[in-house]
Amino acid sequence: MTPTPLLRLMTKVARLYYEQGMRQAEIAAQLDLSQSRVSRLLKQAEKEGIVRITVAVPQGFHAELEDRLQVLYGLREAVVVDCEHDDDQEALRAIGAAAAAYLETTLTSGEILGISSWSETLLAMLDNMHPSAQPGAEAVVQILGGSGNPAAEGHATRLTSRLAQLVGGEARFLPAPGVVGSRESARALLDDPFVAAAMRWMEEITLAIVGIGALTPSKLLAASGNVFTAEELHELDELGAVGDICLRFFDADGVPVASTLDERVIGLDLEQIKRPRRTLALAGGPRKFSAIQGALRGRFVNVLITDRFTAERLAGDWSSVPEEVSA
């Protein structure tokens, strides 16, 4: 680079700004320049390579991995949390803590949250949250029916109520089971005015918070009574299902699995789950990898919080990269 008066001026302005911490107005006054010219010189100094900006990522953060997941799966945001071991329970705890921090720092006044009923990771998130000191959400809407086994019947309403209290919003419940015995029972419930009103509330959700389930239900979901029989799960397996969101099943490519079982679920379907401005999935651990991968391939969620081991496996999934990216 040949020394010129302009390069000399750029260098001087850059050193005053970056090394001596002077404000642009102070530099302009000292060098008899306009503030707009100082701003242009700083931008040009960066373009010419006089100024090189680097970001030192602290240990335990995985910014490049997050960027890769966002490109691979078209995510609005990915949050990758650090874990020492590739373990389901360790991942659950770390994801829950990260999800609490994410929600507390990104929730804006007036939002309407949707929350699924039967996720251990969602419980871990609530355990790590603190009551909002600022005006919070307008409402928290239950997006999957909650009643089931009498011993666990109050769980879904408690989860919805607890999140509503934490974010300062109104709790709106879905007074129905997650799964009913027949298509006719589901239709009858959906005609109930209270259930119908709850389903309409779901159309207003701006942030849906969901878990991603493996085909084999978790202990929490199994205890709720909101699960299909072993024969029905075998049928789903035969149809290629690898996981679910709100008991709506999909295959490894993210294609919804069509079956009569789907007609017995009371709650959001997969197309509705996509509609909020943000659909946040909390999921990780080796047991759920295929389910998480399928959900991302189906573009059912646009924000993901997961552990680093799962993220590394997902980042190797080049079959999900659009042609214009991978070319």
Residue 153 backbone phi and psi in degrees, to 5: -60, -35
The pLDDT of 317-323, averaged and rounded, is 50
Is it the case that residue 3 has pLDDT exceeding 50?
Answer: yes
Pick from 36-45, 131-140, 177-186 the range whose average pLDDT is largest.
36-45
Helices of type H across 168-288: 183-191, 193-201, 219-224, 230-238, 270-273
pTM of the model: 0.81
Q: Tens digits of per-residue pLDDT, 103-155?
A: 999 998 899 999 987 788 998 999 999 887 777 899 999 999 875 555 445 66
The pLDDT of 34-55, averaged and rounded, is 90
pLDDT for 220 equals: 65
Amino acid at 92: L
Q: Give, in degrees to the nearest 5, the angle at Cα 270 between 267 and 275.
A: 95
pLDDT for 154 equals: 64
Residue 159: pLDDT band with limits 50, 70, 90: confident
pLDDT for 266 equals: 92
Helices (H) and strands (E) in the chain, counts: 15, 10
pLDDT for 52 equals: 86
Q: Tens digits of per-residue pLDDT, 254-309?
A: 999 988 889 999 999 999 999 999 999 999 999 999 999 999 999 999 999 999 99
Could you count the other beta carbons within 10 Å of the beta carbon of residue 182? 11
Q: Tens digits of per-residue pLDDT, 89-102?
A: 999 999 999 999 99
Residues 182 and 264: beta-carbon distance below 8 Å? yes
DSSP character at residue 45: H
| Helix, strand, coil distribution of the chain in percent, nearest 5 | 50, 15, 35
Structure tokens at 57: 């990522």
pLDDT for 117 equals: 73
* Residues above pLDDT 70, as percent of the chain: 88
Is it the case that residue 166 has pLDDT exceeding 90?
Answer: yes
The pLDDT of 31-59, averaged and rounded, is 87
Query: Rounded to whole angstroms, how far apart are CA atoms 76 and 6?
Result: 41
